[in-house]
Each structure stands twice: as C-alpha cells, then as structure tokens.
Amino acid sequence: MKNLIRWTSSLVLTLFLAAPAAADGLIMARMDKPFPEAMTLLQSAISSRGYTITRLQQVNENLERREFKSDMYRVVYFGKLEEVKRVSAMQPELIPFLPLNITIFAEGEQTILVSSHPKTLRQFFPDPALKPVLDRWEKDVVAIMDELREDSGP
C-alpha cells in the first residue's frame, strides 16, 4: 500500500510538473476580481452543480518555505459522496485523484484558478464504465471555469 501511495504521489507530481508544457492538461481561468470575491464565486459555482465542498486547504506555510509570500492561495476540494464511493469501488486506483479540486490564488488585483483537466484521467483509466462520470466531471469543471470567466467581466 505504501508503494502505491508513493507511486501515485510521483505520478501526481509528474502530471503537475508536466502539465504546463502540455496546456491541454490544465483548465485555467483568470478573473478581474479580488481573491475573496473570486473564492465566494468559485464556491457558489461548485455548489450550484450539486457538489459538496469537502475541504479548503491553505498552502501558505509550504509556499513561505519556498519564499513565496501570499495568504491568498487555496485548494478547493469538492465531490459528490456517493459518486466518489461508487467510482472508488469500481477503480480503487482513482482514489488519490479524488475528490476533484481547483487551485485558486491571487495575482495582483486578479485571481487565477487552475485545475487538472479530467480528460487526463481517461488516459490512465480507460474503463468504459468510467467514461460517463469522467465526461460529466469534465463538463462540470469546464462549466465552472467558464462561469467564473464570465463573472469576471466589467
């Protein structure tokens, strides 16, 4: 089990580090809203699609160790409990990727949101039984980002 966790952590790190080179591995949105307002809009967009926010993780401490100073940097985890249980039972290897998440951080007067593209999971988990769920996750995460981009207008 420890080896699986180490392997999965390495895979996640590799995907994260490789993603900027392959922009299609990420979904991003930039908002002309200050961080607190953008955070509220993000949580509302997630909830309006039937997801439950399971955790708001602050990563400031780790960033400060790397001399990046910001108190406006969070990872928002969200999912649908029964769906996560069902998908985890079908494909236990998916557990490290759940629940879904969006990273949100301030950049000056703007806010940036980033998420791994759910279609990336299809490359690693091609099970046809997962396709409808992964397709819906993709549709929902893209819709959340699109809504936030639209909310960013004047």
User: pLDDT digit string (tens) for 54-69?
Assistant: 999 887 666 667 666 6
Is the full-model pTM beyond 0.85? no
- Beta 52-58 vs 100-107: how paired, if at all? unpaired
Summarised one tens digit per residue, pLDDT across range 92-102 is 999 999 999 99
Residue 149 CB neighbours (<10 A): 15
The residue with tokens 């409808």 is: 132
- For the chain, domains (ranges, CATH) are 2-151 (3.30.310.70)
